[in-house]
A = this chain, B = another copy of it.
Amino acid sequence: MSEKFPGYRGKALTMLKDASAEIGDVIRVMKDGEAYEGVLIPRSEFGDDKHIVIKLKNGYNIGIQVTHETKIEKIGTGAKPTFSKPPLPKQKSNFPRVAVLSTGGTIASRVDYRTGGVRPALTANDLYSVVPELSNIATIEAEILYSIFSENITPRDWTQTAKHVAKHIEDNVAGVVVAHGTDTMGYTAAALSFALQDLPVPVILVGSQRSADRPSSDAATNLIGAVKAAANAPFAEVVIAMHETVSDRSIVFHRGTKVRKCHTSRRDAFKSINMTPLAKLENGEIRMLTESYHKRDAKRELTVKPIFDEKVALAKFYPGMNPRAIDWYVDNGFKGIILEGTGLGHVGSNCFSTLKKAIANNVIVGMTSQCIWGQVNMNVYDTGRDLLEIGVIPLEDMLPETALVKMMWVFGQTEDIEEAKKLLSKNIINEFSDRTVFEES
């Protein structure tokens, strides 16, 4: 490992030194007859000694395995602007106060142009300097909770995040923004929905699908939309703020229990499932898209129930599934299992005895559908009726991901199995849609 070449070791390091290439330089790597050009960037400490990583012109980073036949050539020094803070914008004292908590992810980072790496935006002033528009919307109170990829966020982090959001709400901010990696933002939105009840003000999760160094970045527009909603929106719910379409013209706010990431890379990756988004920001105005929502009321007293229990599993059924994989959860003391069944809420009859055993062992089994849209209805076919008789609990139109989070939350509230079943089936925070909204055509 070398301080001048963070993350590089062994053969890769030697070749870089031989080429006199430093972090931030533009290099050309010739390998197997192909040439790759880009800015040499640091590697994670986890890396092996065989790859070098460059940031291509299109903004993506690639790792190239070096062999004795690979040639590396320095072809330029990269643009190396330093990150300088603009003068602090004048804050009008009557602007709403908005807390911006960052947990990590693309949205919460600013790019170091020298290295191509991303670093968290640390302070309110960092945020103002990256997105100057914010200073005309709200007085930002920034706090860094974590700086991690969202795939590494755990239920324990949901608890901590909920407590920090609560602290700012109790300090009477107009709203809270939580910057979050998009990968598991849907899960966290569901978690905060259950953990923060009777909200007086909105809690807006926001992410970005393209980092700020790419021309198509959605980071600034999403963040502006989120801060506007936190400051002014008429609703007081946990929502996700993201692009409505691939255009920058509108931001939509998805209810935290009814949203999932439905595309790996598009800016409009997040979709409200079985409902329209709650609200929409367009031409500077926030417009409600439904009349059925929880209204902002600064005097309402927040209820915080931030505990989750990880002894809960999500299992997707498929043809050829070995039911013994479900037994493993029962044998290892899990308290609940959410099934992603097929269609209206089915699994093969080869799973029935395993599910009976689970339920006999006081494991709660809930049924959702891998279709994603629609709702389970276990009264239509024999398989569904059999599963109901076995004791599987139908979870209507709850998303599998929301059902998982809810079950973890339920076991954070009670040890009593009958009480847990009741909580699971009760509509706590709009995780079940109103039955009448379903298209039956």
Per-residue interface assignment for chain A, residues 177 to 221, with 1 indicating a CB less than 8 Å from any chain B CB and 0 otherwise? 000001110011000000000000000000000000000100000
Q: Assuming the A-B contacts A324-B332, A373-B264, are A439 and B313 also in contact, with contact meaning beta carbons closer than 8 angstroms in the complex?
A: no
Q: Is A67 an interface residue (CB 8 A)?
A: no
A342 close to B60 (CB less than 8 A) = no
Asked whether A62 lies within 8 Å of B382 as measured between CB atoms, the reply is no
A382 x B184 contact (CB < 8 A): no
Q: Let me know if B262 and A182 touch, CB within 8 A.
A: no
Q: A46-B382, A63-B379, A408-B320 are in contact. Are A343 and B308 (CB under 8 A)?
A: no
**Residue A145 at the chain B interface, CB threshold 8 Å:** no
**Looking at the complex, which of A68-76, A128-136, A166-174, A383-391 is the stretch in contact with chain B?**
A383-391
Residue in B closest to A374 when the chains form the complex, CB atoms: B264
Which of B349, B371, B401 has a CB less than 8 Å from the CB of A318? Answer: B401
With A246-B441, A329-B325, A346-B149 as known contacts, state yes or no: A269 contacts B310, CB within 8 Å. no
Are B246 and A439 in contact, with the CB atoms below 8 A? yes
| Chain A interface, number of residues (Cβ within 8 angstroms) | 86
A322-B313 contact, Cβ under 8 Å, with A47-B389, A348-B152, A373-B262: yes
Question: Chain B: which residue is nearest A368 at the CB level?
Answer: B264
Q: Is the Cβ of A155 less than 8 Å from the Cβ of B320?
A: yes
Contact, CB under 8 Å: A265 / B440? yes
Within 8 A of B (CB), among A379-424: 379-383, 385-386, 388-389, 401, 404, 408
Q: Write the residues of chain A forming the contact surface with B, with a CB cutoff of 8 angstroms.
A: 44, 46-48, 51, 53, 60-63, 149-155, 158, 182-184, 187-188, 216, 246, 261-267, 269, 308, 310, 312-314, 316-322, 324-325, 328-329, 332, 340-350, 369-377, 379-383, 385-386, 388-389, 401, 404, 408, 438-441
